[in-house]
Structure 1
Amino acid sequence: MEKHYYNPPQLPNWEKAFSQVVVVKSEEMQTIYLSGQVSVDRENKLIGEGDLKCQATQAFKNLQVALASVGATTMDVVKINIYVKDYRSADAGVVSEAFQSAFPFEKLPASTWLGVQALALEGLLIEIDAIAVVAVHPTIKHT
């Protein structure tokens, strides 16, 4: 088993605090662990202050960037956790719309949505983490 740690350059560099992506490889598969993605740009500037819809859209985009950095897509996600600050039932439609845009599939990952009192940075309204699994393809050797 191998572990690889990644901090894609398209996302904020928080490597002193955590890795954005950790890939655990075995002979047949790799499991991809994605740290919580929030609504910030690569310079760690908040996008969509006070706007849950905008923040949800950006957080899902960042999740897709994190997946793509290791050759995966949302189709590979098997578990997703969504944390919404001060969650109210009226927020469900907004979050669901952003979720469906990133996951337009019939078979969806297991999912947990939680309302939380606060997130790591002031102004954040949503955070999304995920686990993905992909098959390891044997390397083709050229002679």
Structure 2
Amino acid sequence: MSDTPPHVRFINVPALGHAPGYSHLAEVRGGRTVYISGQIAVDERGVVVGAGDFTAQARKVFGNIELALAGVGLTFDAVVKLTFFLTDFAHLPQMRAVRDEFVNLAAPPASSAVQVAALVRPELLIEVEAIAAAP
């Protein structure tokens, strides 16, 4: 990943403890904000990709976010916040590994993870929302 955009500052507050792979805060100065609704592991025809395979689903979800960002002329460098919805927290290590393929590891977005009982389709294991900031 490339450098942090100049209008964004990622901050970790020492009093909040170590933030493994995410930032506590993302401060955006000026620009525009893009909200990306929860992305799931479906292709352009609405077919689930990677049924039963968490890593395949996570890669498709991040790929879909990448497509959404490109639709407004942005890349993952513009992402300031990610929210993960997982059907099982046992998948956190895989989710983090896939996330790390896409985000700027030097200044990772602020993030939250929530375990949910189910997603919109029973074969889905992950959904991810994103917020991006552009100059």
- Which of residues 29, 39, 42 in structure 1 aligns to 2:41? 39
Note the C-alpha offset of 1:61: 0.4
Q: Give the aligned partner of residue 103 of structure 1.
A: 103
Native 8 Å contact 1:80 1:112 kept in 2: yes
Q: Give the aligned partner of residue 57 of structure 2.
A: 55
Q: Tell me the distance in 2 between the aligned counterparts of 1:97 and 1:71.
A: 25
Q: Give the aligned partner of residue 116 of structure 1.
A: 116
Residue aligned with 1:63, SS? helix
Structure 2: give runs of 5+ residues left out of the alignment. 1-29
The alignment's TM-score, normalised by the length of structure 2, stands at 0.75
Structure 1: give runs of 5+ residues left out of the alignment. 1-27, 136-143
Q: Tell me the distance in 2 between the aligned counterparts of 1:96 and 1:72.
A: 22
User: After the TM superposition, which parts of structure 1 deviate over 3 Å for at least 4 consecutive aligned residues?
Assistant: none
Residue aligned with 1:67, SS? helix
Q: Tell me the distance in 2 between the aligned counterparts of 1:106 and 1:58.
A: 23
Residue aligned with 2:44, SS? coil
User: Which structure has the higher relative contact order (CA within 8 Å, separation 6+)?
Assistant: 2
Native 8 Å contact 1:87 1:116 kept in 2: no
Whichever of the two has the greater Rg, that structure is 1
Note the C-alpha offset of 1:29: 1.4
Q: Give the aligned partner of residue 82 of structure 1.
A: 84
Deviations 1:42-81 (A, max 9, x none): 0000000011011001100001000010011111011100
The alignment's TM-score, normalised by the length of structure 1, stands at 0.71
- Please, what is the CA RMSD of the aligned residues? 1.0
